[in-house]
Amino acid sequence: MLTPRPSKTALALSIVVNVEEGAEISLLDGDGKAEPVDEMNLVTKGAVRNPGNESNYQYGIKEGFKRVADLLTKYDIPATWTCAAIALERAPQIADFIKSRGDEAASHGYRWIHQFKMTPEEEREFIVSARESIERSIGIAPVGHLSRYLFTEVTRSILKSEGFLYSMDDYSGDWPFWEETGSGPIVVVPYAIDTNDMKMWADPGYTPTDWLKYNIDTFDRLYEERLAQPRMMSVGLHLRIVGRPGRIGAFEEFLKHVKRHEDVWITYRKEIAQEFSHS
């Protein structure tokens, strides 16, 4: 589904839905520890399985996904789904939804684990296996990649050499830029942490009302600035976070606010990268 930019001054809005549930750190997948309980700021020590937290993640698949999917459909919002490949394999209903809408599936690694300790060979295998798995699940190979926070000095070079169009591992701006790598230049489409729903997990005192106001303020400022220079806003979502009944309403109110404005380009990150690379 193409979403052409309505004008040269249109504010680009990228809704990013992270699919990580079922791909997190787990003893069941051979890791030496369990995933921290983010919302409670709890960390188990040693090789202790935490079935309760495993179910906390599965909430995103069982309940949160439908709420997010329903709003994207209701308001006709295209989204980029950054998918940990194994999570998509284990939740084929999400892959089917992405395919049915023609949404973009970007890579979030083969699993939702850190890659900063990998050797270049291990990291290449990690990236390639993710791309191949997502292509099997969706039918189209991903052209964008988002690491789990930390990446290596050769990540972007590997991405470029493997045919990726863009990297999301950056928070330094409100519009794409070129990054030179050992394999040639790659487009960097910056992501954003401040507008990400993860803040409501990292700080239980940060309410959905706080998140909504901050995101509306961000949107309004960037909407004003778009007349002087190209601007982009990223909103990062997680099925297990914003998909909770007490939070999903904040996302809907944000979409209502956006829809009251003209000259907004709600689109996929690959289209933002493509427009930038041809400008």
| Residue 1 in domain | no
**Nearest CA to 90 among 120, 113, 70, 110?**
110
pLDDT band at 53 (very low <50, low <70, confident <90, very high): confident
Mean pLDDT of 184-198: 97
Is residue 2 predicted with pLDDT exceeding 70? no
Q: Percent of the chain, pLDDT > 70?
A: 97
pLDDT digits (tens, 9 = 90+) for 124-133: 999 999 999 9
| Residue 60 in domain | yes
> Between residues 92 and 25, which one has the greater pLDDT?
92
pLDDT band at 21 (very low <50, low <70, confident <90, very high): very high
pLDDT at position 1: 58
pLDDT band at 45 (very low <50, low <70, confident <90, very high): confident
* Average per-residue pLDDT for the chain: 93
- Please give the full DSSP string across 74-106, using - where no structure is assigned: HTT---EEEE-HHHHHH-HHHHHHHHHHT-EEE
Q: How many domains in the chain?
A: 1
| Residue 63 in domain | yes
pLDDT band at 267 (very low <50, low <70, confident <90, very high): very high
Is residue 221 predicted with pLDDT exceeding 80? yes
Structural domain that includes position 118? 11-277
pLDDT at position 34: 75
> Between residues 151 and 241, which one has the greater pLDDT?
241
Q: What does the alpha-carbon distance between residue 258 and residue 20 come to, in Å, rounded to a whole number?
A: 26
- 256 Cβ contact partners less than 8 Å away, ≥ 6 residues apart: 75
pLDDT at position 41: 65
Is residue 136 predicted with pLDDT exceeding 80? yes
Mean pLDDT of 47-57: 80
> Between residues 37 and 177, which one has the greater pLDDT?
177
State pTM to two decimals: 0.94
The CA-based dihedral angle spanning residues 72, 231, 9, 220, taken in that order and rounded to the nearest 10 degrees: 70
| Residue 245 in domain | yes
pLDDT band at 47 (very low <50, low <70, confident <90, very high): confident
| Residue 111 in domain | yes
Mean pLDDT of 49-61: 84
Mean pLDDT of 206-214: 97
Query: What are the residues facing 238 on neighbouring strands?
Result: 18
| Residue 3 in domain | no
User: What CATH number has the domain bearing residue 89?
Assistant: 3.20.20.370
The single-letter code of the amino acid at 79 is A
| Residue 4 in domain | no
Q: Percent of the chain, pLDDT > 90?
A: 77
Query: What are the residues facing 265 on neighbouring strands?
Result: 12
| Residue 161 in domain | yes
